[in-house]
Chain A
Amino acid sequence: MKQTFSIAASLLLAATVSTATPTAHAVDSAPLPQIAVPKVYIVPMKGQMGTDVEPEEYDAIVEDIKKVKPDIIVIQLDASDEDRKQPLDLSEGRANRAERSIPKINEYRDLALKFRTELRDIPQVMWVNDAIGFSALMAFAWPEMYMGSDARIWGLQQVTMLAMGWEDPDVAAKMMAAWTAAGKGFLELGGYPLPLGDALLFPDRNLSARWEGRKVKWTNDVDGTWIIDDNPKRTPIFTAQLAEDSGLCDGTADSLDDLMFILGYREYTKIDSGEKAIDGYIKRWRKAFERCEELLQDVGDEGGGDERALAKQLKTWESILSEMERYPAVEYRLGRQYGLNKGAVKREIEQIKNQLQQIRNRERGNRTNGGNAPGGAGLGGGGNRR
């Protein structure tokens, strides 16, 4: 990882950080410990929100943290809907639509709440490497925020998009208010002011910032010292530089060493059990998903209605079902990319079982071979709900 901080700059920043009072954060945050070599627990939230960052996977991390009792928790957020390698395209965003974040807002809220409440006695720092899409909500759920020097936090238009599609003005307003209030809840949790939330959610809201003493005041106008956003057609984009200049984040750091130095520690002990657990999970579910994709290819190629082919198809579908049940991420992605859900797979399995039964009955010379069986008529509708 590149080092952008000279020692002098680092010391200057460290001094600034140590004397600055935090911005108006509503939720108490435990103070950093006054010890020489703190134990630092890294919690990665990286990849696709909703699959790689699967809220349920963090239950075990929280329990591990309680057991390990670190001095500081660093949440490392690197989840972006916009591929850095692709040209910036606000309308299309990430080139691979399948990798776009999944709008599980309530689950993300519960995940943030879990850390902020169950582990409230341990100081927590949000370290943003990239936050575009629903991950931006997470960035604002912690009061202490640092960013990588090339990190970005984009607006929250994905949240407002959830409320689109209603024509009745009252219903449309209801939906918009409900969704955006949920989005602003993350900012409240992190103690960020609501004018900032309004600007991040609504393109037509301006945003500027000014220092009032040591505090930053955000307003939905263009009267502040920094005009963050005066474009009525889009929500603000925070680069690390802008975020630092405007006081949105508490500093920039490109490595954990930098971050810890800014926080006032020359030495620290890194605890990577959380990283290992999350990395392992991501590898496992993605491997399972790849295998399911291959299996789907196989099942398409496995033509023929003979017993052997059907038995193979049955085994294939059962393997897919097993992975779907094991990893909700696999189920979600198969739904998003292939229109499959567990119900459809179960139906497929039952149909193959019936065909096999019929073949076996015929082979046994059974007169009641199922040809006139009253099967096949479902209760209505297919299995594809995605």
Chain B
Amino acid sequence: MWKERLCEESLRPITKAPMNRLTSSTTSFIRSLTSARSMAALAACTAICIGSLSLADTQVRLKSGQSWRGELNSQVEVTFKENGKDQVVKGKLLRADQRVIQVERELSGKVSTKTILVADIVTMTSVEGAPATTDGAATGTAAGTTTGTTTAAKPDATKPADPGAFRGVYYMPIKGTVGIGMREEEIRKIGEEADKAGPGQIIVLHIDSPGGIMNEALEIHKTMLELRKRHRVVAWIRKAISAAAFTAFHCDEIYFESSGNLGSMTMFAGQTAVQGQLLADWLEFAGKVAQEGGRNPQIAQCMIKVELELSYDIPPGGGPKDAIFRPDNKGQHILDTSKTMLTFNATPALECGFSDGTADTKEDLAKLLKIPEWREVNDVGENLYESWNRLLERCGEEVEELVYTFGIKDAGGDPVRAMGAQIKTIERLLMWYDRCQECLIEAQMDKGIPVPPKEALEQRLKQLREALAEARRQQRDAGRGN
């Protein structure tokens, strides 16, 4: 029994009680994000999310500060640095994310794929479109042109930060169950703190979470999409399982600690994984989030469904970021078989390009982030985390005592006094329900404390107040009789 208990305790993926309550809303929400066809009523929401995931408008931000916009599969001409010399490649753009592009070209009658680091690109133009501008002025967003960025640029992860302009990072540890210790609220607040310094700040989320409640993950999803528009958002992984892994997929960059692990995103209720349309929607949704973050969607999907396979090849002369994934086990490097659920450790994640690096200290992370030094702008992130966790701890201790001593405390004397004690206990529990509902969920999930539902407490409180009033009336009557 202890094994099961600890299993639940430490993984806490989604337990029966919250999930039963959450399943219907989760279903509709995911459908709203993924199946615009069948969920016309939620079209507005769908449009936002699907729109952001669309590949019709692909953007490559160049080192020069300019950016290219166009469509995948269009013809491009790219000038880039290789071994200190400018090289030119023309061909079909197969892939483009913030770190690498891949161009399919024909050489001596043979088709090959050239992978180019965005950092090495000098110019990039569409063959049928306008040439790249060199002055950085915005030239519109017509497909296939290189443009000056029209929104405030996020720092380019591929080049060192300007030491003069570097203010520091906004660092926040996020630990515990998603929806309890790790919440959307703190992520939103650290974003608001970074906003005070304008767009383009670096936010580092140090994630140590066994997963949690899906509804909260979906709230985090919305917040992260917004946050990433304004800032460079970095995940630093100690542990990111299930909903926490899903959160990490939203980040611009993902770094691991040596002992870090990320994956296992199967959604389940009670003892059973979701199936049918909800599973299909979840696979699609998670894949799109991965893709939007510049990662292969199959990676996310292999973290959800056991039968899915994944392997990859590194083209000759290529590196981890050139990895070409395939949904079977025929590649050079097998990541996931039909009997396993994909969960990355640091080394495999780095070798296939999923991870951007491995760092065990903030100083090491600073080097990977290409910032001059590890410097935190302020301690708001730490404070947000600590104050919330202090509240959780305080609430947990008090709730445990309230529940276990209810009906016993002060029950040895005057019945009026005993009822007063019970009322006080229920009022405290209801106060905690209002102030920190997450804590009551944790008390049930984590410690097995039988906290009654809020409605039951409110009903009991009403009964007790009536009984107390009656008892006092009887005492008064008895007093008059005497």
**Which A residues are closer than 8 A to B by beta carbons?**
26-27, 103, 105-106, 109, 112-113, 116-117, 120, 141, 161-171, 173-182, 184-186, 188-189, 191, 194, 336, 342-344, 346-347, 350-351, 353-358, 361, 366, 368, 370, 372-381, 383, 385-386
Contacts and interface: CB of A to CB of B under 8 A. Distances in A.
Given A103-B6, A162-B6, A373-B418, 12 more contacts: A178-B263, A181-B344, A343-B403, A346-B404, A347-B404, A357-B413, A370-B413, A370-B414, A376-B408, A378-B404, A379-B452, A381-B449
Contacts of B447: 385
A174 B13 contact: yes
Interface in B188-214: 208, 210-211
B374 interface: no
B254 to A, nearest CB: 15
A342 B400 CA distance: 9
Interface centre among B339, B400, B401, B405 (most CB of A within 10 A): B405
B412 A177 contact: no
B412 A168 contact: no
B296 to A, nearest CB: 18
B341 A378 contact: no
Closest 9 CB pairs between A and B? A375-B411, A357-B412, A354-B412, A381-B450, A185-B259, A170-B273, A181-B261, A343-B404, A177-B343
A213 to B, nearest CB: 20
Interface stretch (B140-148, B324-332, B345-353, B386-394): B345-353
A127 to B, nearest CB: 21
Contacts of B10: 105-106, 162
Secondary structure at chain A's binding surface: helix, strand, loop or mixed? helix
A351 B404 CA distance: 11
Interface in B348-378: 348, 358, 360-361
B451 A170 contact: no
B258 A188 contact: yes
A260 B382 CA distance: 41
A310 B353 CA distance: 67
Contacts of B259: 109, 112-113, 141, 185-186, 188-189
A344 B413 contact: no
B45 interface: no
B268 interface: yes
Majority secondary structure of chain B interface residues (helix, strand, loop or mixed) = mixed
A117 B360 contact: yes
7 contacts: A27-B360, A165-B4, A343-B400, A343-B449, A354-B408, A354-B410, A375-B408
Interface of B: 2-4, 6-7, 10-11, 13, 208, 210-211, 239, 241-242, 257-261, 263-266, 268, 271-273, 304-306, 339-348, 358, 360-361, 400-401, 403-415, 418-419, 422, 447-452, 467
Contact of A354 (B263, B264, B411, B450): B411
A351 B345 CA distance: 50
Given A164-B3, A181-B261, A376 B407 contact: yes
B412 A353 contact: yes
B478 to A, nearest CB: 10
Given A106-B10, A168-B268, A173 B306 contact: yes
Contact of B239 (A106, A174, A366): A106
A166 B271 contact: yes
B412 A189 contact: no
A146 to B, nearest CB: 21
Output the residue of B211, B263, B418, B467 with the most chain A CB within 10 A: B418
A161 B408 contact: no
A119 B415 CA distance: 60
